[in-house]
Chains A and B, each alone.
Chain A
């Protein structure tokens, strides 16, 4: 139950930051997503995101910063285990599940639905 509240709190705050960025800077949602992934990746590399993840659980991994964190963790792990060439594989390897799921489900849903007439 506590973990639920923590996730709610951390996830909510991360979304509020995004909302402030949208309202104050007129950044489009696509740019917000890019900023979030890069920010998560950098914070992950600096070791700042991990404690946030340990505190907030899904509240830190569900927002797109968590995706960036995954990229950073993945590339560092892969460099540890396979050296230099891990730089090329680690990031996307860690993100592969999410990207594949998005592509597959997007394709399936697009197959069975039709765009709305506007």
Chain B
């Protein structure tokens, strides 16, 4: 009885480990393909923009285009639908950053354009900009004094 119980437990653990249907595994596959597709689409755009523009300009055009597309999709409520399926695949790309700005901008419109849309659009992007700026500041200081 004791051994069979232990065997069962061990078996359960083995199944847990090997099972490709564990939610994390499925989520990762979805994130891989959706995030990969967004980046692949980005590469298509980048190759197109790079034909007639400098590298820096093409990179900027890519960011602006992806942000615009994400904003429109968010406006129609489609980005959230994708997000439910794709998880990090739609959060991590810059389209996810754009979504994090557009989504509260729409949602808090009922609190007015100034303190609703204007203030709340940074509810998620604010921390990103704050900590990004702080980190770049530290990088700049270290680079100025030791890096060069």
Contact = CB atoms under 8 A, between A and B. Distances in A.
Interface residues of A, number: 80
Nearest to A9: B36
A30 B130 CA distance: 12
Majority SS at the chain A contact face: helix
Contacts of A38: 131-132, 135
Interface string B27-47: 110111111111110111111
Contacts of A19: 24, 27-28, 30-32, 87-89
Contacts of A66: 94
A78 B147 CA distance: 13
Interface stretch (B3-11, B13-21, B61-69): B61-69
Given A29-B88, A59-B42, A106-B71, 14 more contacts: A15-B92, A16-B31, A37-B128, A37-B132, A41-B136, A58-B43, A62-B95, A64-B92, A64-B96, A71-B135, A79-B148, A95-B132, A99-B125, A103-B101
